[in-house]
Structure 1
Amino acid sequence: MRVPKYYTQKVRIQELIRDAAPGTMLPTERELAERFGTSRTTVRQALAELVAEGRLDRVQGRGTFVAAPKIVHLRQLTSFSEDLAGLATRSDVLALSEEAADAAVAAHLRIEPGAVVHRVERVRRVGDEPLAHETAFLVGPLPDLARELAARGSLYRTLREAYGIVPAGVQDDVETALASPDEARVLETDVGLPLLLVHRTAWDAAGTVVEWTRSAFRGDRFRFRARAGEAPGEPRVPSPG
């Protein structure tokens, strides 16, 4: 798969602003082009995508600045399988392993960096079409997780039935992004396709975090619906767009 030239510069700019505070001013297009050894046109396209994603703000006559983080809170207590009940869904496990939590994963799970977590990477499908790329990190002793998950399919059902872990609350942080080359390959689509990113943190009745998951949904095939309570006469299921 050919990676567009601008995408390489976009990644470089993302690294440049990774630890920058909101409001930090970026170098000019000319300065960035000279730094990266590319054209201003290529830099301009990379900046335009980052502006569209909400990572940068462009102020006419002043310049381009690091944007404040976008945060949207949606709360759901259902799994992918439950949300799409009635449709022919399946999950293909790409990887399932135990590993040491890095600083970011540890912070989300509220554990010490280096603690062992379970990592489950899957492609979620409706029919044969890939809809989402999901990576879940789970805490706690989960013996024979691969076998238990294969027997049930649903991760939440597996946690509940095999390990007695029942999420009592979740927080979904939702934002938009564009598909990277790796995500495009897994989702069988084009680099730059709009994605809906859902970062889910789940905790049990005691308030202990039991899951942190990053899900990248294809923006051309998914509509996200959040609801508190049931609306009479209406289905609860979100439908692919």
Structure 2
Amino acid sequence: MKVPKYYLVKNQILELIAGLEPGAAVPTERELAGHFATSRTTVRQAIAELVADGRLERTQGRGTFVASPKMLLLPQVSFSSNAVSQGWRPGRVVVSARCEEASETVRENLQLEPGSVITRFEVLRTVDGEPLAHETVHLPGDLTELTERLEAQDSLYRMLAAEYDMEIVEVEDVVETIPCNPVRADLLGVTTGLPLLLVHRTGFGKGDRPVEWTESAFRGDRYRFVSRRRL
């Protein structure tokens, strides 16, 4: 099987940057083309894939640099606890919050009657100030009063349990990959088409009653999904 030239160069660049610290500068396209005796077009394609893979990052006007390591996405752990355990500083920005009539999809996932109202929170999850995930949270009833406290980084699950008798005791995550659309690209500060990890989470309360349905889109260049369970 014939291996594309850019793929060989991609692996050569990986060997070149092995051991370098995040933020270390990578040689220019011209220098890499000379070093690997190939064209700048081939180097450009190899670098583009490494950027999409989260191994390199480009800064307009400055150059290409070794990217920070990917954050592990552990479904058994909350976003904040997950980030802190890996040495990151988590944050949350509420983009919008409104009470509205539940759509058919939301009703099905929260097992609601037609005409039921839900609260829809649109949130950006950040790590060290950088947006890494876009979330849309759906909760039954009017809970828009939580907006300010969500901005203050309070635990949503803890507040639901303590103040609304909506303790979440079990969650189900459904994971797939999708390309980033223009709206999410603008919110996350990435290019349209970047691979995203899309996680649909249903949170169940006592009696197996759904009390949360959340769609989370995580940047594929900054995340690895890890799941471990005893068989």
TM bucket, shorter chain = 0.5 to 0.7
Alpha-carbon distance in structure 2 between the residues aligned to 1:142 and 1:115: 13
Residue-by-residue CA offset, 1:181-229 (whole Å, 9 max, x unaligned) = 0011111000000000000001112111000000000000011222337
Deviation at residue 100 of structure 1 after TM alignment: 0.4
Is structure 2 residue 200 aligned with structure 1 residue 199?
yes
8 Å contact kept, 1:77–1:167: no
8 Å contact kept, 2:94–2:150: no
> Which deviates more, 149-158 or 216-225?
149-158
Partner of 2:102: 101
Secondary structure in 2 matching 1:223? strand
Fraction of identical pairs, as percent? 44
Alpha-carbon distance in structure 1 between the residues aligned to 2:124 and 2:206: 29
Partner of 1:68: none
Alpha-carbon distance in structure 2 between the residues aligned to 1:159 and 1:212: 13
Partner of 1:169: 170
Q: 1:206 to 1:140 in 2, by over 3 A?
A: farther
8 Å contact kept, 1:167–1:203: yes
Length, aligned pairs only: 156
Deviation at residue 129 of structure 1 after TM alignment: 1.1
Secondary structure in 2 matching 1:84? helix
8 Å contact kept, 1:132–1:217: yes
Deviation at residue 84 of structure 1 after TM alignment: 1.8
Partner of 1:49: none
TM-score by length of 1: 0.60
Deviation at residue 76 of structure 1 after TM alignment: 4.2
Alpha-carbon distance in structure 1 between the residues aligned to 2:140 and 2:124: 21
Secondary structure in 1 matching 2:197? strand
State the superposition RMSD in angstroms.
2.2
Alpha-carbon distance in structure 2 between the residues aligned to 1:81 and 1:215: 14
Alpha-carbon distance in structure 2 between the residues aligned to 1:143 and 1:198: 23
Deviation at residue 90 of structure 1 after TM alignment: 0.2
Alpha-carbon distance in structure 1 between the residues aligned to 2:189 and 2:108: 31
Deviation at residue 94 of structure 1 after TM alignment: 0.2
Amino acid at match of 2:210: V
Deviation at residue 140 of structure 1 after TM alignment: 4.0
Partner of 1:70: none
8 Å contact kept, 1:178–1:193: yes
Is structure 2 residue 133 aligned with structure 1 residue 127?
no
Deviation at residue 113 of structure 1 after TM alignment: 3.1
Partner of 2:83: 84
Alpha-carbon distance in structure 1 between the residues aligned to 2:75 and 2:221: 22
Q: 1:141 to 1:179 in 2, by over 3 A?
A: closer
Structure 2 unmatched ranges of 5 or more: 1-73
TM-score by length of 2: 0.62
Alpha-carbon distance in structure 2 between the residues aligned to 1:145 and 1:119: 11
Based on CA coordinates, which of the two structures has the bigger radius of gyration?
Answer: 2
- Mapping of residues 1-241 of structure 1, within 5 Å: 76-85=75-84, 86-140=87-141, 142=143, 144-228=145-229
Alpha-carbon distance in structure 2 between the residues aligned to 1:203 and 1:77: 14
Deviation at residue 143 of structure 1 after TM alignment: 6.8
Amino acid at match of 2:180: A
Q: 1:152 to 1:127 in 2, by over 3 A?
A: closer
Q: 1:101 to 1:164 in 2, by over 3 A?
A: same
